[in-house]
Amino acid sequence: MSNDPACIFCKILRGEIGSVKIHEDQDTLSFMDVMPQSPGHCLVIPKRHAADILEISADEAAVLIRATQRLAKAVKSALLPDGIGVYQFNGNAAGQTVFHVHFHVIPRHAGAELGFHARQMADPATLYPLASKIAAAFSQ
């Protein structure tokens, strides 16, 4: 499970660091990105630590992409964006900043620019209402 003592996502999984959770099952956790590029930006991570997508099995990848698709559908239903970006980075040169495999689900609205990746912390008070909306849609 969450077995890397230095990994921030493993710390979230172990409850050492708080997060604004959306959905959790036995294999994955979905939560709000604390440095969102747009309102509703969220993440999906596996509960087993792996630095990137090259370190997970095909079965683990299938579980992770199913969870990502469910989250994207919930974001679409809850927030009504014009589009949804699904991103996944592997390695420093590719833009990965947390070395625990994860997918970004980012709602996009026509004409709205994306914020920069991993630059500015959001006020947690703005994340909770969005997470509640997405979580409600997740369970439908």
Residues annotated catalytic, as ranges: 102
Q: For 13-16, which contacts have Cβ atoms below 8 Å and span 24 or more sequence positions? A: 13/45, 13/47
The helix/strand count (H/E) of the chain reads as 3, 5
Kindly report the backbone phi and psi dihedral angles of residue 103, in degrees, each rounded to the nearest multiple of 5, phi listed first.
-115, 140
CA distance readout (Å), 34 to 37, 42, 59, 104, 128: 9, 8, 29, 12, 11
